[in-house]
Structure 1
Amino acid sequence: MEPERISEGRVVAFIDIGTNSIRLLLVRINPNGSYFPLTKQKETVRLGDGEFIDRILQPKAIERAVVVCKKFVELARAYRAEEIIAVATSATRDASNKVQLLEMLKEEANLEVCTISGTEEARLIYLGVSSGLRLGDLKALFIDIGGGSTEVSVGDQTQCYYLYSFNLGAVRLTNMFLPEETGPVSEEQYEQIKNYIRHKITNITKDLSEYDINCSIGSSGTIENLARIAFIYLHKTASESFEKLEYEDLKKIVRAMCAIPLEERRRFPGINAQRADIIIAGAAIIETFMEEMGLSEIRISKRGLREGLLVDYISKSEFSYMITQMSVRKRSIMQLGLTCNFDEEHAHTVTRLALELFDSIQALGIYKFREGERELLEYGSTLHDIGTFLSYDTHQAHAYHLIRESNLPGFHPEEIEIIANLAYFHSKNTPKKKHPNLVGLNKDIVKSIKVLSALLRIAEGLDRSHNGVISHVRFYIASTDSLVLETHARRECQLEIWEVEKQKKYFKKIFGYNLQSKVIIKQDSGVSLVLEGGAEIEELPNIEMSSKS
């Protein structure tokens, strides 16, 4: 794929033609480099049905795939997509008659499809999954169970160290071992499948054992569905918020599903009925991997190959810095801000001032912050005004809902709550104990919201005019019960001074200190005008401040 210029903004479609399902991701890529998913679609077509014995794609399977791809192309064109990037994986690359499929897709669906290797599939899955995780320098094992193949990789946030693709998949193994099975699956049958898998992965598990792996991430519809089944069947809670699959839970649900016939299995708690016939073989793959690698649990990611196609596309554009130079968390925040067309300059100014206030309080030792609070203040400050593109009058509430509903990659739900509430309480309302936003949150989260919002409210006031007039701010101790807020301004800043006055009462409530104001205005004459409490008290020669002062 050639590097793309997307400075005018464009709609791009990404299609993943898999062995079991065909997936579509339709994205608007904005002129500022942010992107917004327009729709995600998935259709089960079973392209690999009956293929893996004689390596021939069946006519009905080809027909189903062409019909779905035609539908997806029509949908992409309805959204005025300028490009459609489509790749085919295991079922297509292994088929002796793949040319027939590719020609029919070109003629009937007007779709050019690239058949990718197993290694390239593993690379794209790594890109898609890792781009939604906060890994840092931790090395993770990535496992994706497809219909025809299983891809594994080892990588951290920025680099992949190992890629491999096995001809082991939920559809492939079902075709091989349980082709017409409609009754229960015996323990002997299940062990036969596992023994076959164990033999196939022996050399690779030895390779993987050489890496210092800190965690394991599973992706694909099979792993997602197994995690959902475990959550609902064992924990009796209907929820989509499953985050991991534990080995002991996996063993329990597999034995329960093997013990019942296919029709009954289709009604098993939490199961996707369309996967009922292939879920046993898929479970055998992940169970064997977990045993051979000594994994007690696998974290679940809902991202995969199609997200990898998007990341790969952006990394070859002029916005590649968003992939290569930003952490996943920073990228999540900037993506949301840019998508909401936020005032980037104001956001950066308020963030800079908020962090100066935080660092100043911390240096004085008058409050002990929790680990991670500085970073959350940074992100809450960055996004505090994103609701204005919907309505200025109620932008705090809009910002709160936008942040909470954006499912920010790289963040835990508790962190998202803090960021969203910082945006909500950055002006007007203060976070009172019985406020609906705070009901049900634990005490530490509420305390973080209260403390960090006290600093953000001052920082927002210090750029009330949105013209970046304040160059530097700090606290210093005036007495046992008073702090001075020393503000350095480039010119008159009466509006900002008034706004800070409004925040003194809340500041004292949170930190226990009275707040006094001191404003130093740098004048063109080389003289600094010093104001205290809004009154001019003296003129001093201009002295450049150290950034550490």
Structure 2
Amino acid sequence: MRLGVLDVGSNTVHLLVVDAHPGARPLPAHSHKAELRLAELLDGQGAIAPAGVERLIATVADAVRVAEDKGCEEMLPFATSAVREASNADAVLAQVKTETGIDLQVLTGEEEARLTFLAARRWFGWSAGKLLLLDIGGGSLEIAYGIDEEPDAAVSLPLGAGRLTAGWLPGDPPETDDVRTLRRHVRAQIARTVGEFTRFGRPDHVVATSKTFKQLARIAGAPGSGEGLYVQRFLGRAALEEWVPRLAAMSAGERAALPGVSEGRAPQLLAGALVAEGAMDLFGVDALEICPWALREGVILRRLDHLPEE
């Protein structure tokens, strides 16, 4: 069957169209995305402003038209931290449903972590052993650990690259004191959770998903997207530690000129690097592998698990 997965995230609204069947890997058929940056469209009370709601509705309606054009039999629409944490989330969700017919399901942070972990487990398989997963989104950082398809521990922290950039790094390039203050904040937040995971022992394999990790791995020397989906890509902590001060000294425009870094994501890359560096350091990770599958694939796989066998 052809499924459309509509991901309303903090940075983008992404429709992924896949051909999927129980027992088979989902095959991407089409990708449609729009940069909305919902996390930056909140007013002083933490609500999504009217202009932002209008843009969200228009973007969702456009995605629905694309899904229909591509022959999707079913839509799997979900929203993450930007909508989840908006003070007017219920009203926004109701308005989206009224005007587009799409009933966005808001995932909790823990659900995000668990579904992303499922995708990583299916990608790497049982031979990967105990997995530690890190995922940096626009609004939050997800961490999960386990040996099965359901993680033994899963948490979500408000350490997304977009959120931190907007709240902590106003300069371009940022002030040195602002970078140092954000670094302390990030590490204090992550340190509170480390014990929840280390009690299970050291992982056999550490993996990371998200655009932030992919871009950091790329600038640190990993193969580009043109090399294909199945090429292994790694990010080492030593290389990342060398890049953090370099990124801090760059403007957003200079970061956008780096290999694999998009103009839209460039302003957030430093904050994402500080989160990645802090997580790898505090969890004692020397290197991690980039996983091509993430939350959207986890949502697809969970849906397929509940389809009857033909």
Does the pair score TM above 0.5?
A: yes
1:467-492, Cα deviation, whole Å (9 max, x unpaired):
xxxxxxxxxxxxxxxxxxxxxxxxxx
User: How far has the Cα of 1:83 moved from its partner?
Assistant: 1.5
User: How far has the Cα of 1:256 moved from its partner?
Assistant: 1.5
Residue 258 of structure 2 is aligned to residue 271 of structure 1: no
In structure 2, distance between residues paired with 1:317 and 1:70: 27
Give the conservation status (yes or no) of the 8 Å contact 1:229–1:270.
yes
Q: Which amino acid in structure 2 is aligned with residue 153 of structure 1?
A: A
Any residues of structure 2 matched to 1:256-295 within 5 Å, and which?
256-295=246-285
User: How far has the Cα of 1:25 moved from its partner?
Assistant: 2.0
How many residue pairs get matched? 307
Distance 1:85 1:270, change over 3 A: closer
Indicate the residue corresponding to 2:174 in structure 1. 185
Indicate the residue corresponding to 1:224 in structure 2. 214
Q: Which amino acid in structure 1 is aligned with residue 280 of structure 2?
A: M
In structure 2, distance between residues paired with 1:100 and 1:315: 32
In structure 1, distance between residues paired with 2:126 and 2:193: 23
Indicate the residue corresponding to 2:149 in structure 1. 158
In structure 2, distance between residues paired with 1:283 and 1:89: 21
Give the conservation status (yes or no) of the 8 Å contact 2:183–2:274.
yes
**What 5-or-longer segments of structure 1 have no aligned partner?**
1-9, 321-549
Indicate the residue corresponding to 1:121 in structure 2. 112
Q: Which moved more, 1:254-263 or 1:122-131?
A: 254-263
In structure 2, distance between residues paired with 1:13 and 1:23: 10
Out of 62, 73, 98, the position equivalent to 2:89 is 98
User: How far has the Cα of 1:154 moved from its partner?
Assistant: 0.5
1:286-341, Cα deviation, whole Å (9 max, x unpaired):
11111111111111012111101111001111249xxxxxxxxxxxxxxxxxxxxx
1:56-99, Cα deviation, whole Å (9 max, x unpaired):
22333333332222121111111232211111110111101112
Instruction: Name the SS of the counterpart of 2:238 in structure 1.
Output: helix
Indicate the residue corresponding to 1:147 in structure 2. 138
Residue 194 of structure 2 is aligned to residue 214 of structure 1: no
In structure 1, distance between residues paired with 2:113 and 2:225: 33
In structure 1, distance between residues paired with 2:184 and 2:17: 40
Residue 257 of structure 2 is aligned to residue 300 of structure 1: no
Q: Which amino acid in structure 1 is aligned with residue 164 of structure 2?
A: L
Give the conservation status (yes or no) of the 8 Å contact 1:105–1:111.
yes
Any residues of structure 2 matched to 1:333-344 within 5 Å, and which?
none
User: How far has the Cα of 1:101 moved from its partner?
Assistant: 2.4
Indicate the residue corresponding to 1:255 in structure 2. 245
Indicate the residue corresponding to 2:37 in structure 1. 46
Any residues of structure 2 matched to 1:502-541 within 5 Å, and which?
none
Cα RMSD of the aligned pairs, angstroms, is 2.5
In structure 2, distance between residues paired with 1:84 and 1:51: 27
User: How far has the Cα of 1:197 moved from its partner?
Assistant: 1.2
Residue 61 of structure 2 is aligned to residue 70 of structure 1: yes
Distance 1:99 1:217, change over 3 A: same
Distance 1:43 1:243, change over 3 A: same
User: How far has the Cα of 1:250 moved from its partner?
Assistant: 1.0
Give the conservation status (yes or no) of the 8 Å contact 1:146–1:222.
yes
Residue 191 of structure 2 is aligned to residue 195 of structure 1: no
Instruction: Name the SS of the counterpart of 2:200 in structure 1.
Output: coil
User: How far has the Cα of 1:157 moved from its partner?
Assistant: 4.8
Give the conservation status (yes or no) of the 8 Å contact 1:151–1:163.
yes
Structure number with greater CO (CA < 8 Å, separation at least 6) is 2
In structure 1, distance between residues paired with 2:125 and 2:164: 33
Higher gyration radius (CA): 1
Any residues of structure 2 matched to 1:386-425 within 5 Å, and which?
none
Q: With structure 1 as the length reference, what TM-score do the two structures score? A: 0.52
User: How far has the Cα of 1:20 moved from its partner?
Assistant: 1.0
1:114-154, Cα deviation, whole Å (9 max, x unpaired):
11111111111111222111343610110111111111111
In structure 1, distance between residues paired with 2:5 and 2:224: 36
Distance 1:230 1:11, change over 3 A: same
Indicate the residue corresponding to 1:312 in structure 2. 302
Give the conservation status (yes or no) of the 8 Å contact 2:162–2:268.
yes
Distance 1:52 1:252, change over 3 A: farther
In structure 2, distance between residues paired with 1:45 and 1:293: 33
Q: Which amino acid in structure 1 is aligned with residue 145 of structure 2?
A: V
**Percent identity at matched positions?**
28
Give the conservation status (yes or no) of the 8 Å contact 2:79–2:107.
yes
User: How far has the Cα of 1:31 moved from its partner?
Assistant: 8.8
Instruction: Name the SS of the counterpart of 1:231 in structure 2.
Output: coil
Q: Which amino acid in structure 1 is aligned with residue 33 of structure 2?
A: K
1:221-262, Cα deviation, whole Å (9 max, x unpaired):
111111112117xx9998565611111111222222211222
